[in-house]
Amino acid sequence: MDQRQDAGGWVSGYEWQPVLFLLGVAAASLVLLYGVGASLRVTSEPLNTRPFSGGLDPDEHPFSRFHVRWYPVTMIFLAFDMEMLFMYPWTKVVSAVGVSAVIEMFLFLGVLLAGVAYAWREGAFRWS
């Protein structure tokens, strides 16, 4: 019996058995699922593994790179996506917090709009 003295008293090694059992069940399930998937896998011909394209040969590689002009637009989209992530919980607490919450949100929106104005001035939205 494994016992050691902790700050709260004696702790036995048997307390870890459910955790170890759960990890064992998860690992066995993972191995079982991969084994079943490998045994039931249907081998396909190279013609069937190509993505559907209406019968035409593809013009470019499926993993072709995006043009660099898309990355600033992506960053701006993510910034406004994060804005919405912060605004939804804010709507729930704004009445309880009061005016300080409104001021903080307008400061947050001001920082975002300053970023958009900077991107506009630098030409991040120009496509030519």
pLDDT digits (tens, 9 = 90+) for 59-86: 777 677 777 778 878 888 888 888 888 8
Residues 86, 88, 111, 105, Cα dihedral to 10°: -110
User: Would the pLDDT of 12 be above 60?
Assistant: yes
pTM: 0.44
Which of 22-26, 56-60, 86-90, 97-101 reaches the highest mean pLDDT? 22-26
Q: Residues with Cβ < 8 Å from 112, sequence gap 6 or more? A: 79, 80, 83
Distance (Å, whole) CA 9 – CA 51: 62
**Least confident interval from 30-34, 43-47, 49-53:** 49-53
Contact status, residue 86 vs residue 112, Cβ threshold 8 Å:
no
Residue 4 pairs with which residues in a beta bridge? 11
Residue 76 neighbours by CB distance under 10 Å: 17
Distance (Å, whole) CA 69 – CA 128: 10
- Runs of H (alpha helix) within 1-128: 17-39, 46-49, 70-97, 99-122
**pLDDT at position 99:** 92
**pLDDT at position 44:** 64
Going by pLDDT thresholds of 50, 70 and 90, the confidence category of residue 120 is confident
